[in-house]
Structures are given as C-alpha cells and as structure tokens.
A = this chain, B = another copy of it.
Amino acid sequence: MDDTELVSLRRTLHKRPEPAWREFYTTATIVDALESLEADIDELYVGPDALSGDHRLALPPETELEAWYEQATQYDVDGDVLETLEGGYTGAVAVIEQGDGPTVGLRVDIDGLPRTEADNGTHEPALEGFRSEHEGAMHACGHDAHATIGVGVIDEIVDSDFQGTLKVFFQPAEEVIGGAKSMAKSEHIQDVEYLLALHIGLDHPTGEIVAGIDGFLAVAHLEATFSGEPAHAGGRPEQGRNANQALAAAVQNLYTIPRHSDGQTRINAGLIEGGSAANIIPEESRLVAEVRGETTELMEYMREHATRILESAARMHDCDLEIELGAEAPSATSDQALVSIVESVAGETPGVDNVLERDQLGGSEDATFLMREVQENGGLACYVGIGTDHPGGHHTSTFDVDEASLRHGVDVVTGALERISQERPSA
C-alpha cells in the first residue's frame, strides 16, 4: 500500500466509527482491505473465530448491538462477513506464513468512542469531508490509524526478509477494556513468541518513536445501581428513598479516596443518570466508574475504597445497591530485548527524527492482557509509541492524527518484526 492507500483506508474507517463490540462495519472493512491486498492472507479468523466469546467483557445491551448491526447492514460491505459478527463478535486475526521462523504477533485495536466529533473549520476531518457520519461516535483515539497500520504491515511484510509466522490481531473493544481478554483467552495467542502492540500519538509529535512504553495503569470498572422508592415530591417527600441523593453522595465521596504514597491512583465517575421527572423522588440511578493504579495493588486499594463508599452512600439515603464489576486490565512492562530492537530499527527509519527508549503511558490499555499472556508463556512483548501531531487531546472532539505517521508506523513495525525474526532474542 502506498501512502495514498493508507490515508484512504484510515479515512474510510474514520468516517464510520463504531464503539466497542459494535465494530461491524469496521471489521468488515478491514477484511475487505486485507482481501484486496496483492499478498494472500494464509488464514483469516473473523468474529467468533478470532476470539473466545465467553471472555468478552463490558458488552453493551442487546438493543445497542442490534441498532449498530442494523446500521452496518446498510453499508456496502460483505454481508457474509457481517453475519458472522452479529451479536457483538467483532474483530479479526490475520495470519501470514512466510518461511521458517518464530511466531510473532502484532496487536492493533479498532474501536471508536462515544463522543461527538468537532465540526468546524479548523478540524481537518470536517474540512476534508471524512468527519464521523455516526453522530455521537468518533475515532478520538486513533484506532482508525492503528487498524490501517495493521493492514499496511501485512502488505509490507510479504516483501520483507521476515521469516516466520505473523499474526495480526485486529482487536475490538479496547476503549471499554473489553476485547483483549477474549483474544488473550483464544488459541491464536498461545504460540506467539514475540508480541508488538502500538499506539499513535500520546503527545509525541510526528517523527518521534517511543521504543518501549510502560506505565500502564491497572484499571477496573464498576457499575453501581441505586434503587430507592419513588414518591410525589410535593405531596409525600418523606415516603421517597432518593436514588439521586445516594448517587450524588457517592460521586462526591468517590473522588475523596486518599491519595497513596506508593504511586499514582485514579478515580472517575464517568457516567451518571437517575430519576425520571422533576416531580418524582428519584427511584433509581446508575453510575459507571473506573479506578486505576500504577500497580494492580494500587488499583485494588482504590476499588476497595470505592466499593465501601458506594455501599455507604446507598445506606445513607436508605437505598439498595447493586454493584456490577466490569472490565479490568492488569499492568505490564515492555521487555528490554524487544525495546532495543525497536529503538535500533526506528533510528534507521526514514521520517523518524527522534527515538525515545522508554516512556510512561500514564493510562490503561488492555493490550496488557495479551502482553502478559505471551510473557507468561515464556515470550517477549513490547508496546511501541508512534508519534503524531494531534491538535486536540486523546478522547476529545478535536483529536486528529497527522497522516504522515501512518507510514512511520508501518515501517518501524515491519522493520522490527523483520529483525525479531532474524535475531530471535531471549529475555
């Protein structure tokens, strides 16, 4: 694929972003792209064949899945592929066998975010006509670029000196930390000896590469439902048990969990809703929160406090509480042997003018599930940062990528895979 084709694929994906487990059009489009490559894909696992369905985390409601599926059916994509995906079995694994050598993996994620994209004269996608057509959804974290790089690497690897088996994991549902576990529990990862994952941007400019990213915060989601008792707010306020008050007390106090001297922690009550009308004492409310920690222990510290606070807030306002533990991901570390290879390859890649050996993510990523699986099987893993100028921050409505970095991603990753297949480093 030349630069124009990379840009074109990225824009195609950008225009129709789909949030976690709803990547129907996205997966089908990736499959289309793979099948249009000159090279033959040796094996292509799609949907339920690409992952362990029972380990999908943080699935949306059925009605959501159906609505997005329905939408996808109206686009010009392969209906047979779509049907395979129905019910939220999105994603794919593509396999290239190219001579004798190790089995190496590349993981790219493909989902969008529930966010409305900016629509003004300074936002490139709006200017150039590839702004999200799905109002309220947006590729605000660059996964459109990731998927594109994944396809680009396959295209390039067949012309390289790579020897061995390459598996590219097009992973769904990263944004809800929901997809990696199902791929980590599939058979496809089990024989992977070396795994690369990548992310674009992260405040690194175009031309800068981070050979090994660490500092993945362990993360867990909690969904709390407060159930009270409705009552007429004017006539009988004392007969109500107010679920919005319980939620407000919870939100106020969740953010007060003591900071920890062992390292960074995080808390966010990202989504709330409750009550039905101004004149009814609110009967039910719901809160989706996440906790994070520099280590899994710190994350657990946060989760324990958060749970106690939720319970106390419910009791404080005489409400019942149900807590559903949602998705979670561990932390992980990039192995030095791979970091060194990436660093060296990046230094020789055209367009790359700065290489950092290591940097901290300071966020979470469920790639850690796959990295840990490979590492626990005796393999090595490394998470690579591909710098790109991005006008708005990640997850904001003005996020965008510098499309020049698509090529950098393809080249650095392909080069590193090639070298890994030759050097077969050990820990």
Give the distance in Å from the alpha carbon of A180 to the alpha carbon of B251 in the complex: 38
Partner of A256, one of B231, B256, B363: B256
Partner of A238, one of B113, B202, B258, B275: B258
Whether A269 sits at the interface, judged by CB under 8 Å, is yes
- Are B258 and A259 in contact (CB-based, < 8 A)? no
- Are B271 and A274 in contact (CB-based, < 8 A)? yes
* Across-interface contacts of A308 in B (CB, < 8 A): 315-316, 318
Scan A317-356; emit 1 where CB is below 8 A from any B CB, else 0. 1100000001000000000000000000000000000000
Partner of A244, one of B270, B275, B396: B270
Whether A252 sits at the interface, judged by CB under 8 Å, is yes
- Are A231 and B393 in contact (CB-based, < 8 A)? yes
- Are A234 and B266 in contact (CB-based, < 8 A)? yes
Total A residues in contact with B, Cβ cutoff 8 Å: 82
Whether A90 sits at the interface, judged by CB under 8 Å, is no
Whether A240 sits at the interface, judged by CB under 8 Å, is yes
Q: Chain B interface: which of A285-293, A367-375, A401-409?
A: A285-293
* Across-interface contacts of A217 in B (CB, < 8 A): 234
Scan A254-279; emit 1 where CB is below 8 A from any B CB, else 0. 01101111101111111111111111
Chain B nearest CB from A305 CB (Å) reads 8
Chain B nearest CB from A332 CB (Å) reads 14
* Across-interface contacts of A245 in B (CB, < 8 A): 251-253, 255-256, 269
- Are A261 and B362 in contact (CB-based, < 8 A)? yes
- Identity of the chain B residue whose Cβ is nearest the Cβ of A19 in the assembled complex: B277
Give the distance in Å from the alpha carbon of A259 to the alpha carbon of B280 in the complex: 14
Scan A197-234; emit 1 where CB is below 8 A from any B CB, else 0. 00000100000000000000101010000000011111
* Across-interface contacts of A309 in B (CB, < 8 A): 316
Give the distance in Å from the alpha carbon of A232 to the alpha carbon of B292 in the complex: 12
Whether A115 sits at the interface, judged by CB under 8 Å, is yes
Give the distance in Å from the alpha carbon of A5 to the alpha carbon of B357 in the complex: 55
- Are B270 and A273 in contact (CB-based, < 8 A)? no
* Across-interface contacts of A231 in B (CB, < 8 A): 393, 395-396
Whether A301 sits at the interface, judged by CB under 8 Å, is yes
Chain B nearest CB from A61 CB (Å) reads 15
* Across-interface contacts of A312 in B (CB, < 8 A): 312-313, 315-316
Whether A33 sits at the interface, judged by CB under 8 Å, is no
* Across-interface contacts of A232 in B (CB, < 8 A): 363, 393-395
Scan A113-141; emit 1 where CB is below 8 A from any B CB, else 0. 11100000000000000000000000000
- Are B271 and A282 in contact (CB-based, < 8 A)? yes
- Identity of the chain B residue whose Cβ is nearest the Cβ of A242 in the assembled complex: B258
* Across-interface contacts of A242 in B (CB, < 8 A): 258
Give the distance in Å from the alpha carbon of A176 to the alpha carbon of B233 in the complex: 13
- Are B282 and A275 in contact (CB-based, < 8 A)? no
* Across-interface contacts of A247 in B (CB, < 8 A): 248, 251, 272
Whether A249 sits at the interface, judged by CB under 8 Å, is yes
* Across-interface contacts of A256 in B (CB, < 8 A): 245, 252, 255-256, 317
Whether A424 sits at the interface, judged by CB under 8 Å, is no
A259-B238, A260-B238, A264-B261 known; A115+B272 contact, CB < 8 A? no
Give the distance in Å from the alpha carbon of A152 to the alpha carbon of B233 in the complex: 31
5 A–B contacts from the bound complex (CB under 8 Å): A248-B272, A268-B280, A275-B288, A279-B290, A308-B315
18 extra A-B contacts, CB within 8 A, seeds A270-B277, A278-B290: A231-B393, A237-B261, A238-B261, A239-B393, A245-B256, A247-B248, A248-B249, A248-B250, A248-B251, A252-B253, A252-B256, A258-B281, A268-B278, A269-B275, A269-B282, A275-B288, A309-B316, A312-B313
